[in-house]
Structure 1
Amino acid sequence: MKQLSFALLAGAAAGFSVSEQLSLFESSPRDDSRPYHDATQAWWDSVPNTDSMLSSFEENMAAAIDSDYTGPIDSSIDLHPGHGGHHGDVTKTIYELIKESKYTQKFSELVDEFDEIKALLEDTEKQNRTLLVPTDSAWERLPDGHKPPPKEFVLAVLKYHIVPGRYPLGRVLHSHTLPTELDLPNLGGHSQRLRFRIGLFGARINFFSKVIAADVFAKNGVIHALDSILVPPPPTKKVIQLLPNTFSTFRLAMETTGLGEELDSDETEHNGGTLFAPTNRAFARLGPRANAFLFSDYGKKYLKALLKYHVVANETLYSDEFYKGPHHDDDGGGEPLSEETYIFPPLKETHSVDLPSLLDEKPIRVTISRWRGFYSMRVNGRVHVAIQDGLAGDGVIQVVGNVLIPPHKHHKHHDHDEEFDVEDEEGVAERLKARLEPYLETERGSKSSSGLSLGDL
């Protein structure tokens, strides 16, 4: 377990490049969910907020924001040219293959410490599984000399590398997200997911981890090899903190209004959630006058109302799956269809979902379109989701390039922010104030008692 010292963050933060294709699995001589949830969150809480640790990750995020590219599907991709995509040994289990391979010794040694994980990888009766295994070279890049994390955290990491079901690479690439064996209470007991995309440099998981070998078939599933370690994602609050170049304004807004502290309270029920997180650029588009108003002492109550329209509690909407409320044993482990968990059918054109925001449950309409492997998500018909499926330990983050404007309080339609032209800097602050005024959580008669107007700012 000492292999999992300090730098699981390094594995989570940076993509390691491995140029050669390896014949990884030729036989060769050997060279209750709460405890691990608490251990995972405690580990992330101990991570210092430095500029360097997640620089590579944030660069990938920024590049994604500037592009509509979300990954075409190429089911013919073969990371082992010349092998026809078929290697491994279908007479052996996943556990036996990683135990025999000279490239996966470190991971198999960790598996041996946990009977629960070993049993999953040896199981040939209940369910096939897909293992995403870091090669030994991924572990060798981690620095030595740091205190190992608790066993509960290591168990969570191992579970996060195992996907229920058999997913060859072609099937993986037809999915934007996939469940894992890691179930988290702050996701309502649902499976923590993995994010898959394919781009110019191959298939990547959770932005940073690269698939370097694929389709190693076993008796009870399939194995894909990775160049880095997958770490269960931190809570939403920590994700925002770790990406200041993208979310510093949003973080300041949450802290200024106290909404972040309210959402993080132990008294608040956590069964997942969806956060539509505006980027720094999104706030800048409102103009300096509107921002000066919102971040003033007088304006922060308006800012809080605005932020509430970006938060959905207890409903977690990914681009290809919807967790609604807590998971129940009779949900079939995420199989369609149930009242609590709904997995979208294959999308031919579009599918829309209305999510109740924290702002008087005013709906946020999300329209998801799929065409030949491309996914597009739009909010209220106009706002593009710049980065889809940002994973968090307590939900999902959908990154938006514009601040969402709530509807008029007594309107029910969704395409309600079309009159907000952010280029009209002279008028946007006044119109924003007028739009948010009816939502303010103030006593009757106090809204206009101060006599302060936007012109005083």
Structure 2
Amino acid sequence: MKPFAKRVIFQASRVTLVAVTVSLAVQTYLAGWKKPQPVGIDSRPIFDEKATPQTLWDEIQQNANLTKFAKLVGEFDDIVGGLRAPRAQLTVYAPTNEAFEHEHFPYDLPWFYWKFLVGYHMGKGGISAEALRSQNTVSSFVNADIFFKNQQRISVQSNSDGITFNFRAKLLGSQPAVNGHLHVVDRLLMLPDSTADVLRSTATFGIFRQGLIDTGLAEVINDTSTHTAQTVFAPSDAAFRKLGRKVNAFLFGPGGRAYLKALLSYHVVSNETLFSDVLFPTKNGEQIVLDLKSASNDVSLSTLARGHEVSVRSVRHTSGDRRVLSVNDEWEVSRPDIVVMDGVVHEMADVILPRIMDGEDQLEKQRGWWSIVSRSLNVGGITVEDLMERLQPLIENE
């Protein structure tokens, strides 16, 4: 069976009880829909800047570059009704006809897969292109948990080259509508893969992935029956190399297995999903928007290293209103908000080490200033002895 088909079956089995998620999300938000009109084809550029704003459905229908997306959306009367409701406020991320040519779909996908796919291309609230530049993530209409409390996110990247969604779909143009905003993108926003698929397919996570396999933690992370959500702080291969050759030889050798498991466990949070701007709390909790204006927006998350937490803070990036996550006040997330089906993955440029306890802090001072400076600069990494000492409390607790 092809990997894509396996993922679809996996997703289908996981969402059998919530197959009407998109309908419920839209129906909860909108009322008084009318019957949809047939999909029409008109010859227009991506957007006519001088045109009078219409409803989102009218804008999609009449755009010759969006006929494939319009045909797909037109299969679902309830969604079309929402896009035609004048008093709604929605944002749609519409892939061009050419975007569909980049994807290969099995011919026999179930109807609810396509409804999920459509729902992942739109969300509540009208978000303009200008507003997108200060967003780290935006909401879709696809359910993100089995409790119907939170909607799956779409990550947003903004730089000098423009705006990108989920690190793959580039924004081509935007158009206001009477009931929201329509953004045209050059790739489909595919339904997120599982954490296991993302770690497997991302080349920079090779060492981290191998460590999870060696310690048995891969089974915990990959088995979605053991968690409703998760946050994974995944160090890159370069991050592990910063630890130094001797430390890596120890961790991945027979004598370091317990320490490697403790270290990697400290990078995984079960049953809570923390994006750089929104937190989905454990179990049946409503999402919490992290407020940059708050004097303290620290979030303490329990890791798989039982009894040990990481402290994460959402801080303003030096370039403007966008955010970065700071972990334990020492390490910043280098590539945030990699959206996965069962949570989120944040790529780290450094391996996260547990906080130094008060007694250990005094020991650090006794060892001299160069020991502290060299570690902060990753000069020669950390010694095996120091790493063992730092991780010992996690092992004892295990």
Q: Paired residue for 1:139?
A: 100
Q: Are positions 1:164 and 2:112 aligned together?
A: no
After superposition, the Cα gap between the structure-2 partners of 1:141 and 1:304, relative to the gap in structure 1 and judged at 3 Å, is closer
Is the CA contact (8 Å cut-off) linking 2:46 and 2:65 kept in structure 1? no
Which residue of structure 1 lines up, in the alignment, with residue 314 of structure 2? 368
Superposition deviation, residue 131 in structure 1? 0.7
Residues 184-224 of structure 1 deviation map (CA, whole Å, 9 limit, x = unaligned): 3369752111111222221111111111111x222322211
Q: CA deviation at 1:433?
A: 1.5
TM (norm. structure 2) is 0.78
After superposition, what is the alpha-carbon deviation per residue over 1:11-40, rounded to whole angstroms, capped at 9, x for unaligned?
A: xxxxxxxxxxxxxxxxxxxxx9813989xx
Displacement of 1:235: 1.2
Residue 43 (structure 1) aligns with: none
CA displacement, residues 62-83 of structure 1 (integer Å, 9 cap, x when unaligned): xxxxxxxxxxxxxxxxxx9997
Shift in alpha-carbon separation, 1:411–1:209, aligned structure 2, 3 A: farther
> 2 CA distance for matches of 1:374 and 1:181?
23
* 1:129 paired residue number: 90
Correspondence for 1:385: 333
Deviation at 1:373, TM superposition (A): 2.1
**Which residue in the other structure is 1:307 paired with?**
264
Tell me by how many angstroms 1:394 deviates: 1.1
1:232 aligns with 2:196: no
- Residue 290 (1) aligns with residue 258 (2): no
**Alignment equivalent of 2:152, drawn from 185, 189, 192:** 192
2:104 and 2:47 map into 1 onto residues whose CA distance is: 36
Structure number with greater CO (CA < 8 Å, separation at least 6) is: 1
Counterpart among 74, 99, 102 of residue 61 in structure 2: 99
Offset of 1:104 from its aligned partner? 1.1
**RMSD of aligned Cα (Å):** 3.3
Scaled by the length of structure 1, what TM-score is found?
A: 0.69
Aligned pairs for 1:17-416 within 5 A: 34-35=15-16, 88-90=51-53, 92-125=54-87, 127-142=88-103, 147-185=107-145, 189-214=149-174, 216-244=175-203, 246-265=204-223, 267-270=225-228, 272-327=229-284, 340-347=286-293, 351-370=297-316, 372-407=320-355
Query: Kindly, what percent of the aligned residue pairs are identical?
Result: 28
Deviation, 1:442, is 8.8
The answer to which of 131-140 and 254-263 deviates more is 131-140
Q: Following the alignment from structure 1 to structure 2, what is the Cα–Cα distance between the partners of residues 165 and 133?
A: 16
Rounded to whole Å, the distance in 2 between the matches of 1:263 and 1:138 is 32
Select 1:438's aligned residue among 366, 374, 393: 393
Aligned to 1:377, what secondary structure does the other structure show? Answer: strand
- Who is 1:454 aligned against? none
Distance change >3 Å, CA 36–CA 228, structure 1 → 2: farther
Q: Quote how far apart the aligned CAs of 1:267 are.
A: 4.5
**Any unmatched runs of 5+ in structure 1?**
1-5, 10-31, 39-79, 329-339, 444-457
Number of residue pairs the alignment of both structures matches: 352
2:292–2:314 CA contact under 8 A, matched in 1:
no
How far apart are the structure 2 equivalents of 1:33 and 1:217? 36
